[in-house]
Amino acid sequence: MINPDVFHFLNQLKANNNRRWFVQHKAEYAAARAAALETIDHVIAGMARFDPPIVEQDPEDCLFRINRDVRFSRDKSPYKAHFGAFITDRGRKVDRAGYYLHVEPGDSMLAGGLYMPPALPLRAVRQAILRDGRPLRRIVSRPNFVKLFGDTLPGRRLKTAPRDIPRDHPDLDLLQLTSFEVALPLKDARLRKKDFVEYAVGVFEVMHDYIAWLNRALDSFAPDRSA
């Protein structure tokens, strides 16, 4: 379960999002962060049964910093009012499909996939779909996948066909996607249950083949040098 102190700290931070308050409550932040890391560690351990390389990841390397980058934002709040962890087989700072745990009072979720990839990773996924989109369709149409994430991939998509793709292509709906992620919103009560780690691991297991397909697409990418 997520320690209730985590929710308490995040609620207080949201109401007092300034550096002075944060410095005064640094001990509470350290305790909440440690509790979040403990949960991430248990989740990673549970995922080893279906994604063995994940177990090599250090929870510290998966957890995002709580400081916000406010350089290009109208919102100058210095801190995030949530804990977010991105778990992949190669660390957090990579263009890689992975699993995401987001803990925020009233807005938590379990998510996964490849979020808003840059041009080359996006080309890699499209190239894999053009080679053969059937394996991806089989994965996202499985009953357990549809039950959790719906029958249509929800990522952002183009309104028309990508360049050089005919509008009558049979996989146009997949090729229009510019972001490949799925998400399951969570109520706070779900995170407070004693079986939360087991539940999160189960949700990530349903995502696993989708994430593995995306990473195979990235690994097999052969750029067209004439393009």
pLDDT digits (tens, 9 = 90+) for 49-88: 999 999 999 999 999 999 998 888 888 899 999 999 999 9
Domains recognised in the chain with CATH numbers:
4-219 (3.30.930)
Instruction: Tell me the DSSP string of 39-66.
Output: HHHHHHHHHTTT-GGGGG--HHHHBPPS
- Cα separation, 104 vs 12, whole angstroms: 12
How many C-beta neighbours within 10 Å does residue 1 have? 16
pLDDT digits (tens, 9 = 90+) for 130-168: 999 999 999 999 999 999 999 999 999 999 999 989 999
User: What tokens does 113 get?
Assistant: 């996939």
